[in-house]
Amino acid sequence: MGDSDFRPALLVIDMQEDFCPPNGSLAVAEGRSIAPLINTLLALPAFRLKIGTKDWHPPDHISFAHNHPPPDNQPFTSTTTITNPLNPHESYTTRLWPAHCIQSTPGAALIPELDAARLSHVIEKGTDARVEMYSAFYPPLRDPPVAGADSGLAGLLRAAGVTRVYVVGLAADFCVRHTAEDAVREGFEAVVVEDATRAVEPAAWEAVVKKEMQACGVQIVRAADWEVRR
Ligand code: VGL
Ligand code: ZN
C-alpha cells in the first residue's frame, strides 16, 4: 500500500464515568489516566475520522448480574449464555457485570477529561437489552444479525475511505479488543495503542489476551514508538 493510500481513523472506546475510578460501577484501574494521551491523539490532523463510542445499556440489559436469578448472578464471575433471538441454534457465553452505563445516567457520561469536542461521531452500543455488544461494529450473534444491531461503523469508515483504525480507550480486554478484532474481520488494518488503554484484568491482558489479538491480526503498539506520518 502506497503512502497516499494510508487513511487512518481513531476509535475512542467507552471513556465513560462507569469505567473510571474513583466512582465508576465497573471502574478499570487507571482508566481515567489515559485521557491526556488520548487527547494528544485526538489533536492529530492525520485522522480522517475521530469516532467515540459509549456503552449505552437499558436498565434490563442482559449483561447486568442483577437481572439474573441467584446463585449464578455474581458480577465478574458468573456467565450467561445468550441465544440469537432470531436463531435458537446460535448462542455464546459471556460474563455478567455490575450494572453500568445505563442510558442517560451520570455513569454513562463521557468523562470530562476527554476532549470530546474533537470527536466527529459518537456511537452508542449495547442498546438492545437482549444482546451483549463489546464491539463497536456489531454483536457476536450474526447468523442472522439481530435487527438494528449493526452500529453502521464499518459503513461510516468505508465511506470516508479509511484503511486503518487506531483503537484506544476502555477496556483493553473487552470493548477495545472486540472492536479491533471486528475491524480486522471487516478488512481494516487495526492497531491498538497500548498505553492509551487499560484492562479489566491486566495480568491476563499481558499474558494471554494481547497474543490472542495479535493472532487475529491486530497490531499492538505504544504511542511512543508510533509515527502517524510515514
Ligand atoms: C465493557 C464490560 C462490559 C467495555 C463494556 O467497555 O470494555 N466491558 N461492558
Ligand atoms: Zn457494557
> Whole-prediction pTM value?
0.95
* 101 assigned to active site: no
Alpha carbon separation from 39 to 12, 35, 112, 117, 118 (Å, rounded):
10, 6, 11, 10, 9
Assembly ipTM: 0.98
The answer to which of 12-21, 42-51, 82-91 has the lowest mean pLDDT is 82-91
Q: What is the pLDDT of residues 133-184, one digit of tens each?
A: 999 999 888 888 877 778 999 999 999 999 999 999 999 999 999 999 999 9
CB of 98 within 8 A of CB of 75? yes
Ligand 1 atom at shortest distance from the alpha carbon of 175: 7
Q: Name the residue of 170, 176, 177, 209 to mutate for ligand 1: max ligand atoms within 8 A of Cβ.
A: 170
Supply the pLDDT for residue 227: 61
Q: How far is CA 73 from the centre of its chain?
A: 24
Q: Is the CB of 182 under 6 A from ligand 1?
A: no
List the grid coordinates of 98. Answer: 455490575
* Ligand 2 centroid to residue 126 C-alpha, Å: 7
6 pLDDT above the threshold of 90: no
> Which residues fall within 8 angstroms of residue 212, CB to CB, at 6 or more apart?
none
Ligand 1 atom at shortest distance from the alpha carbon of 63: 3
CB of 165 within 8 A of CB of 193? no
